[in-house]
Structure 1
Amino acid sequence: MCGIVGLFIKDESLEPNLGEMLSGMLGTMCDRGPDSAGFAVYGSPENGVVKVTLQSADPAQFNSLQTKLSKILGRSVAVTSKDTHAILRVDHDIFDTTREVLRDQFPQFRVMAVGERIEIYKEVGYPTDVAGRFGLANMRGTHGIGHTRMATESAVTSIGAHPFSTGSDQCLVHNGSLSNHNNLRRELKHEGRTFETENDTEVAAAYLSAQMDKGLSLGASLEKSLGDLDGFYTFVVGTRDGFGVLRDPVACKPAVLAETDRYVAFGSEYRALVGLPDIESARVWEPEPATVYFWGR
C-alpha cells in the first residue's frame, strides 16, 4: 500500500524549510507504510566534491573511517555520520578510486547513494521515528522525495526500504507491484548491472539508469518504461535537477499533485499536502495515467 511524498522548491526562500515541509508530509503517510521509511534530499553542490551516502549495521565503525580512508587515498576526505548513515565527501578526481577502496576494503558499508547533491537515508521503523533519527526536519535543499513502506514482496530491511538509487544523483520510490521484474533483472544483469535486494523497485531504478546511460533523457526513459515495465505502479523519480512522476496506464494507485508559484508537491493522498503553505490557492489535480510529469531547474 506504500505512501509517497515529493517536494520541488521553486522559491529559493523556501529551501531552508524543505526538510520541515517534507517531514510533515512523510508523517501523514505512516499508516500507508509503517514498517520502514526513507527519503532523498537534494542540497546545493559543493565545488569539485562527490558525496557518498553510506549505511552500516555498526555505525561505530564510521568513527575511524575518515582516518583510514585519508591514509589509503593519500588525500583528506570528510565523513559526517548521522545515526546508521554517514556522508562521505571526496574530491571528484579520486571518486572512482574511493569506490574501489570502499568495495574491496570496507565491504561492511553499504552505498546508498552517490552524487553531487543527493543524500539518502532509510531504515526499518515507523516513518516519523526514521525521519527523527536522521533529522529530516532540519535539512535544507531544493527538492526531495520520501517513502513509507508496507512490505508485501520482500523482507523488511534497511536495504529494502525506499528510495533506491542506481545512478549518480538519481533515485526512485514506488507504490505498486511489477509483474515482470525478475525477467528484467536477468536482462539487466547481462548488461552488467548488479542488485542488492529482491525488491522490484530496485529493478525499476536500474532500468531507468540503464536507459539514461544510453543517452535517453529521464522523460524519454519513463516513456519507454511504459512498454517495458508491466504492472501497476506510481513512480516518483529524483534527479540532480528535479523530479518526475509517472503512473501506469491503468493508474489504480492513488496520486495527487499540487503546484503554486513557490513549489510543486506530490502525495499518495491529498492529506499529505494540507500542511503546505498556501495550499488552499494551489492548482491541485490527479496526474493522468501513462503521462510523464517533470519539474526541473
Structure 2
Amino acid sequence: MCGIAGLFLKSSALEPQLGVLMSTMLNVLTERGPDSAGFAIYGAGKPDQVKFTLRSSKAFDFLALAETFGGSAALYGDHSVVSVAESRAASFKAKLEALPEIVIVSVGKRIEMFKGIGLPDDVGRRFGLSGMAGTHAIGHTRMATESAVTVDGAHPFSTGADQCLVHNGSLSNHNDVRRTLIREGIKFATQNDTEVAAGYLSHKLREGAKLDEALKAALKDLDGFYNFVVGTENGFGVLRDPVSCKPAVMAETNDYVAFASEYRALAELPGIEAAHLFEPEPSRVYFWERAE
C-alpha cells in the first residue's frame, strides 16, 4: 500500500509555501499508510556548513553537543538539526557514531529529514512541516507489511549526503543486493528493502554516476515492483518498474513538478487545473534539476 508525495519547485515564489503544500499532499494519503510517516525538506543551506538531522529515543542535550563542535542546533522534539562547519563535519560524525543513543537520520548541505510513528498529520504537526520552506520535498506514509512499525522503518531513507528515497512496492532481491553493498562499505540500520534501494543509489553516485544514470542501472539490478521518488541537493527523480502495477500520477506546470500515489493528493496544488497530468511510463527515468 503506502503513499508517496513529492514536490519539486521550479519557481522560487512558491518556496515559502513548500511545507504547507507538502503537508496537504501527504495528509490526503493517510489511508494508504496510517502507521508511520516521514518527510525530507531541501531548504536553505550555507556553503561552509553541514546539517545533521539527529534523533534520540532518550532525553539528550543536542545544544551542548553542537556547542562542543562550535555549531548550532534546532530542536524538534526527539529530532534535532545540528549545523557544524564543513571542516569539522567528519570529526562530528565520528563522535555521533560513538554515541549509541543517537541515530543519524540524514546528512547534507540542505536536507533535513524527519520521521515518526502515527498519522501523517500528527507527524507533520510534531515537526512543524507546514512552517518549513525550501525548493523540494518528499514525503511518505507507510503501511508496514514486511516489518515492524518503528521510527527506523519509516521512510524516507537517506544513505548519502543530501540524498533520500521513498518507495512504494517490494524488492525481491534486496537481501542479495544488501550483502553486495555491505562489502562495498555501505552501512544499513534496518532490514527494510527501501533502505537497500537508497544504498544502491548512493553506491552508484559514489562511483561517479549521475542520478539519472543510477536510476537506469537500478532497472537492471533491482528486481520487484516499485515506484521510487528520489531527492538530491538540487534534483528530483522518479522511476517506475517495468510492470508499473503500483499507482502513480504526476503533474507539471511552469512552477512545479509533483508526484503522488493518487490524484486527489494533487488536487489542492496551485494551478493544478492547467497542469499537464500524466502517469509516469514504465522503466523511464524522470529527472528535474535546479541550477545551484
Match of 1:65 among 45, 62, 79: 62
How far apart, in 2, do the equivalents of 1:52 and 1:68 lie?
A: 12
Show the counterpart of 2:93.
Answer: 99
Contact 2:54 2:106 in 1 (8 A): yes
- Aligned-residue CA RMSD (Å): 0.9
Residue 195 (1) aligns with residue 188 (2):
yes
Match of 2:175 among 158, 165, 182: 182
* Cα offset, 1:84, TM superposition: 1.4
Show the counterpart of 2:52.
Answer: 52
Show the counterpart of 1:262.
Answer: 255
Show the counterpart of 2:4.
Answer: 4
Q: Secondary structure of the equivalent of 2:281?
A: coil
1:45-66 per-position Cα deviation (integer Å, ceiling 9, x unaligned): 21310000001112x31xx333
- Bigger shift: residues 183-192 or 89-98: 183-192
Q: Which amino acid aligns with 2:4?
A: I
1:168-208 per-position Cα deviation (integer Å, ceiling 9, x unaligned): 00000000000000001111111111111010000000000
Show the counterpart of 2:283.
Answer: 290
How far apart, in 2, do the equivalents of 1:67 and 1:120 lie?
A: 21
Show the counterpart of 1:86.
Answer: 80
Match of 1:208 among 192, 198, 201: 201
1:1-297 alignment, distance < 5 Å: 1-58=1-58, 60-61=59-60, 64-71=61-68, 73=69, 76-104=70-98, 106-297=99-290
* Cα offset, 1:216, TM superposition: 0.5
Q: Which amino acid aligns with 1:81?
A: L
1:110-146 per-position Cα deviation (integer Å, ceiling 9, x unaligned): 0000000000001111111101111101100000000
Q: Which amino acid aligns with 2:9?
A: I
Extract unaligned runs of 5+ from structure 2: none
Percent identity between the two aligned chains: 56
1:211-258 per-position Cα deviation (integer Å, ceiling 9, x unaligned): 110000000000000000000000000000021000000000000110
Ranges of 4+ aligned residues in structure 1 off by more than 2 Å: 64-71
* Cα offset, 1:69, TM superposition: 4.7
Q: Secondary structure of the equivalent of 1:21?
A: helix
TM-score of the superposition, structure 1-length normalised? 0.96
* Cα offset, 1:11, TM superposition: 1.1
* Cα offset, 1:154, TM superposition: 1.1
TM-score of the superposition, structure 2-length normalised? 0.98
